[in-house]
Amino acid sequence: MTEVVSSADPGLSQPLLAKRTSKRWLISAVVTTAIVALPVLAVIFLALFPEENIWPHLISTTLPRYLITTIQLMVGVGALTLIIGLSTAWAVTMCDFPGRKFFEWALLLPFAVPAYVIAYVYTSLLDYAGPVQRALREWFGWQNASEYWFPEIRSLEGATLMIGLVLYPYVYLLGRAAFLEQSPSLFAVSRSLGHSALSTFFKVVLPIARPAIAVGLSLVLMETLNDFGTVDFFAVQTLTRGLFDTWMNLGNLGGAAQIATTMLIFVVILVTLERYSRRRQQQFAARDNRDPIRRFSMSFPRQMICVVVCAIPLILGFVIPGATLGYYAWEYFDVSWNPDFVRNTMNSLFLSGTAALTTLIIGVTLAYSRRLHNTKGMKVLMRLSSLGYAMPGAVLAVGVIVPLAGFDNWLDSLTRDYLGISTGLLLSGSAFALVFAYTVRFLAVSAGSVESALQKITPSMDMASRSLGHSPGKTLLNVHLPMLRGTLLTAALVVFVDCMKELPATLILRPFNYETLATYVYQFASDEQLYHSALPALIIVLAGIVPIILMSRSISNSRSMS
Amino acid sequence: MRMKLAATAAMALAAMPLSASADGEVNIYSYRQAYLLEPLLNAFTDETGIEANVVFAKQGLAERLEREGRNSPADVVMTVDISRINELVERDLVAGVETDTLSHNIPENLRHPEGKWYALTTRGRLIFASKERVEDGEITTYEELADPKWEDRICTRSGKHPYNIALISSMIAHHGEAETEEWLKGVKNNLARKPQGGDRDQIKAIAEGECDLSIGNSYYYGNMLKDENQRPIAQQVNLIFPNAEDRGTHVNISGISLTKSAPNKENAIKLMEFLSSPEAQRIYAEANTEYPANPEVKPTGIVAEWGDINPDDLSLQEIADHRNAAVKLVDRVDYDS
């Protein structure tokens, strides 16, 4: 029931491209991409009209350092998330140890902690004035900083650790879904051919999981690239630093858009390289659900190693920040308890839910059109639709305002001229603008994971369904979507939690008097008073946990049920 | 089917929080946190019956205003930092407004000549010194921060922060670019650690003995004194009003401007007049331990205990004019590395 096909000619065979029926898919993909790409194009457009050419000044002063720091940060975070994400995903999928079921979902928890929150928490704990160093000084009788060495949390390494701790779940989630979808018989075959478990992992399991892992990693890297909160707080000088300087301090939005565009090129190169490296392979592994995963039974010391490997990221990425927030929430309960807080929670849930659903529908549309029309053009469309993810949220927000306000004002002039009424601003400054921004920003997450999962379904499935007279739409509904259930849930979960945490675009685009949990927390955090809003910060984390548990359950179940 | 669903959802979303333009409202784009404005706006609504609606963000509101154009729902923009306010003027987003009440309440040096902005509060950029390790009178000016005797003893936040940029701009205005560059190099040499964190963090670092001097806005210190958990930290530093004896201490402002497109212009002007009134000035300044812009209102509480501030009478416009030079200077000196 399992086949692994390597073919030099990726793409589905000709009969599938029954031109007429699938034209609608092509058209909807083109239209969707055009709409979703508008904000990115708007930023590129802004880049054409800078107030002043910013590059000579940047090149002669800070640009080299910004570039090097950015690359160091991306390499560091990439390596860290791969190590944590893959080792834990492999352990909980394939090994049997006490607490495995608990770690299966608990390892996702750090994902619910926004990077700006974890950075704040660790700084307050670990910097010179924090409780850890103070306690050390008291115990050892040190008088000042020159008498001992302590790692500086506000540093490149510190930022790498913070960002890595909250982003590794991307790799974990997609890696685990990919491991689960692999047929255990593959593993058995490799072992029977004399490969050790370790060598099987590197020679069979990883290569098959690579498309999914690559998606996870590229999401991590893009998010690292556009992070502003953490690097700003830690005074780490990355390209985003230069971008915001140019925008806010020099008042040169065009120049900032140029830096954003340069960062996009960064991402395009990255993604292209990854695709290029596996251009010759395409794998179809039809999954056989009747064949349950046989986990290794291990000796006690080895089981303990598994527990430790899984416990470390959980404790550092979730337990410590959660407990610290809990402590602040308790200390400042009377100031942070607030009647608005139910309303803010509802706003967050509503926006994130709508955006997750929209993003999923569009993601499936795009990925499936790509399957039907495996052309260069479609490939470009897919990449174009994902670019929003690589842009700092605040810049993207401006990119969203440009087309939306443009449309509103155009419609308004039209109705004023012909009907004598003013429609005002219909879309900009509404919840629509927010959902649109989230969709543009997080489409990469859903489209990417759906695309990589679709790639692993053998085309013979499509052929069978189509030769039985089903339309492409019916085939998607009856064949692909059921097989993709785990992936779809994963994608929706990731987008949902991402939206809950999203801050810069939400701030700029929201309607009057409209607070989400994240914006509410930020009011105080931006005034150096996060402890005042520790309670809502804790709620963001908790609200992220519920869907994490629910969906993690269904992912595991998608394996045992069928 | 899918398209129809999406379209319906889109329309439902768009219709939901319709931009407010009915009578009895005033819409605010604010660079200040909404919770700081709340008590004031409540008082305004109580007095006039006009609802006040707020969007708060630290970036991008000017861009939003610009793109929304004549249909923008925003009536006023509330900002901090003179450079940011000046940007609204330069991009032609705000309108001049002059009324007897406003001219009476806000002194000439704290408003735009054509009324395109009015300051509501002022805050000094002060030096904080360890009570233990710095003698009274050992430092009295910004210039002395570059003195080598402070080597390894100063902490500041990023040189790129708008409040530091404004301070450096004022130095450029007084001493010229070349001399300011030397000064900034001197300050950088005296840093005990890489610039990081916010103004409060520097005070904490002094309390813990990592450094002896820091630069910060007056209200951060004031708000720390108000917070029971942070009071012991703040009490370990003295505050110094730099250059009090010569040109005066560098001050920055928070302010308000009327947008060009204001749909509720009358209400907006009522709000501006209200915010400049003694009653509102008292609430506003007290809420964030700042100095009221209206000279009839005397500072109260903690701020009053600090004694009088002698503000540098350099025009705010001049500070805004030197902003770009200051930003580039920080890069050249590599202050943040």
Interchain contact, B16 vs A431, CB within 8 Å:
yes
H or E, element range at A244: helix A239-244
Beta strand B94-95 pairing with B251-259 = antiparallel
Average pLDDT of the residues in A128-148: 80
Residue A524 at interface with chain B, using a CB cutoff of 8 Å: yes
Residues of chain B in contact with residue A513, where contact means CB-CB under 8 angstroms, are 53-55
| Distance between B140 CA and the closest CA of chain A, angstroms | 26
DSSP character at residue A246: I
Looking at residue B1, what is its pLDDT? 44
Question: For chain A, what percent of residues have pLDDT higher than 70?
Answer: 88
A27 and A91 part of one domain: no
CA-CA distance, B201 to A124, in Å (whole number)?
9
Average pLDDT of the residues in A491-510: 86
Residue with tokens 């109580």: B46
H or E, element range at B251: strand B251-259
> Has domain B17-122+252-305 been given CATH number 3.40.190.10?
yes
CA-CA distance, B143 to B180, in Å (whole number)?
9
Write the pLDDT tens digit of every residue in A377-418: 888 888 888 888 888 888 888 889 889 988 888 888 888 888
Most confident of the following: A4-18, A268-282, A471-485: A471-485
Looking at residue B165, what is its pLDDT? 94
Looking at residue A290, what is its pLDDT? 53
CA-CA distance, B30 to A186, in Å (whole number)?
60
Most confident of the following: A11-25, A418-432, A522-536: A418-432
- pLDDT of residue A67 exceeding 80, the answer is yes
Interchain contact, A249 vs B64, CB within 8 Å:
no
The answer to whether B61 and B55 are in contact (CB under 8 A) is yes
Write the pLDDT tens digit of every residue in B43-88: 999 999 999 999 988 888 888 898 898 889 999 999 999 988 998 9
DSSP character at residue B239: E
CA-CA distance, B187 to B115, in Å (whole number)?
37
CA-closest candidate to residue A386, choices A230, A214, A246: A214
The answer to whether B94 and B77 are in contact (CB under 8 A) is yes
- 3-class secondary structure, B217: strand
Residue B53 at interface with chain A, using a CB cutoff of 8 Å: yes
A323 and A452 part of one domain: no
Band of pLDDT at residue B22, cut at 50, 70 and 90: very low
CA-closest candidate to residue B303, choices B200, B217, B202, B218: B218
Residue A1 within any structural domain of the chain: no
- Check which CATH number belongs to the domain holding A439 and give it: 1.10.3720.10
A421 and A456 part of one domain: yes
- Stretch 397-416 of chain A: residues touching chain B, C-beta under 8 Å: 397-398, 401-402, 405-406, 408-409, 412
Residue A287 within any structural domain of the chain: no
H or E, element range at B222: helix B218-226
- From the list B34, B196, B198, which residue is nearest A523 (CB)? B34
A21 and A61 part of one domain: no
Lowest mean pLDDT among A196-205, A303-312, B9-18, B52-61: B9-18
ipTM of the complex: 0.76
| Distance between B90 CA and the closest CA of chain A, angstroms | 10
Task: Give long-range contacts, CB 8 A cutoff, 24+ apart: B144-148.
Answer: B145/B183, B145/B186, B145/B187, B145/B190, B145/B213, B145/B215, B146/B182, B146/B183, B146/B184, B146/B185, B146/B186, B146/B187, B146/B189, B146/B190, B147/B186, B147/B190, B148/B186, B148/B189, B148/B190
- pLDDT of residue A561 exceeding 70, the answer is no
Interchain contact, A401 vs B64, CB within 8 Å:
yes
- pLDDT of residue A552 exceeding 80, the answer is no
Residues of chain A in contact with residue B197, where contact means CB-CB under 8 angstroms, are 123, 127, 154, 233, 235
- From the list B70, B205, B332, which residue is nearest A61 (CB)? B332
Residue A249 at interface with chain B, using a CB cutoff of 8 Å: yes
Helices A376-386 and A340-372: angle between axes, nearest 10 degrees: 170
Lowest mean pLDDT among A186-195, A322-331, B142-151: A186-195
- Stretch 258-317 of chain B: residues touching chain A, C-beta under 8 Å: none
| Distance between A178 CA and the closest CA of chain B, angstroms | 29
Residue A6 within any structural domain of the chain: no
DSSP character at residue A205: I
Residue A331 at interface with chain B, using a CB cutoff of 8 Å: yes
- pLDDT of residue A549 exceeding 80, the answer is no
Residue A89 within any structural domain of the chain: yes
A129 and A264 part of one domain: yes
CA-CA distance, B62 to B86, in Å (whole number)?
11
Residue A209 within any structural domain of the chain: yes
- Nearest residue of B to residue A527, measured between CA atoms: B33
Write the pLDDT tens digit of every residue in B250-299: 999 999 999 999 999 999 999 999 999 999 999 888 888 899 999 999 88
A126 and A58 part of one domain: yes
Residue with tokens 């492999």: A90
In sequence order, what are the beta bridge partners of A160?
Answer: none
- pLDDT of residue A8 exceeding 50, the answer is no
Q: What is the DSSP string of A412-428?
A: HHHHHHHHS-----SST
Residue A284 within any structural domain of the chain: no
Instruction: Tell me how many domains chain A contains.
Output: 2
H or E, element range at A268: helix A253-277
Interchain contact, B67 vs A402, CB within 8 Å:
yes
- From the list B13, B34, B162, which residue is nearest A431 (CB)? B13
Give Cβ neighbours of residue A261 (< 8 Å, ≥ 6 apart).
Answer: A43, A44, A47
Residue A285 within any structural domain of the chain: no
Residue B64 at interface with chain A, using a CB cutoff of 8 Å: yes
Residue B16 at interface with chain A, using a CB cutoff of 8 Å: yes
Residue B90 at interface with chain A, using a CB cutoff of 8 Å: yes
Residue B205 at interface with chain A, using a CB cutoff of 8 Å: yes
| Distance between A95 CA and the closest CA of chain B, angstroms | 42
CA-closest candidate to residue A129, choices B20, B229, B188, B88: B229
Residue A114 at interface with chain B, using a CB cutoff of 8 Å: no
Looking at residue A15, what is its pLDDT? 46
- pLDDT of residue A495 exceeding 50, the answer is yes
Instruction: List the alpha helices (DSSP H) in A47-62.
Output: 55-60
Interchain contact, B33 vs A526, CB within 8 Å:
yes
The answer to whether A359 and A443 are in contact (CB under 8 A) is yes
Interchain contact, A422 vs B10, CB within 8 Å:
no
Average pLDDT of the residues in B223-241: 89
CA-CA distance, B17 to A508, in Å (whole number)?
16
DSSP character at residue A429: T
Write the pLDDT tens digit of every residue in B64-74: 898 898 889 99
CA-CA distance, A155 to A119, in Å (whole number)?
11
Structural domain harbouring A550: 11-40+340-562
> What are the extents of the domains in chain B?
17-122+252-305, 123-250+314-333
A168 and A113 part of one domain: yes
A487 and A556 part of one domain: yes
Domain B123-250+314-333: give its CATH architecture: 3-Layer(aba) Sandwich (3.40)
Band of pLDDT at residue A555, cut at 50, 70 and 90: low
Looking at residue A427, what is its pLDDT? 85
Band of pLDDT at residue A266, cut at 50, 70 and 90: confident
- From the list B71, B200, B204, which residue is nearest A425 (CB)? B71
Question: For chain A, what percent of residues have pLDDT higher than 90?
Answer: 17
In sequence order, what are the beta bridge partners of B56?
Answer: B30
Average pLDDT of the residues in A1-29: 55
Write the pLDDT tens digit of every residue in B108-137: 999 999 999 999 999 999 999 999 999 999
Residue A334 within any structural domain of the chain: no
Interchain contact, B19 vs A424, CB within 8 Å:
yes
A168 and A191 part of one domain: yes
Write the pLDDT tens digit of every residue in A347-358: 888 999 999 999
Residue B21 at interface with chain A, using a CB cutoff of 8 Å: yes
Q: Mean pLDDT for chain A?
A: 82
Between A436 and A346, residue with greater pLDDT: A436
CA-CA distance, A81 to A160, in Å (whole number)?
10
State how far the alpha carbon of B51 is from the alpha carbons of A85, A228, B21, B254, in Å: 50, 35, 11, 22
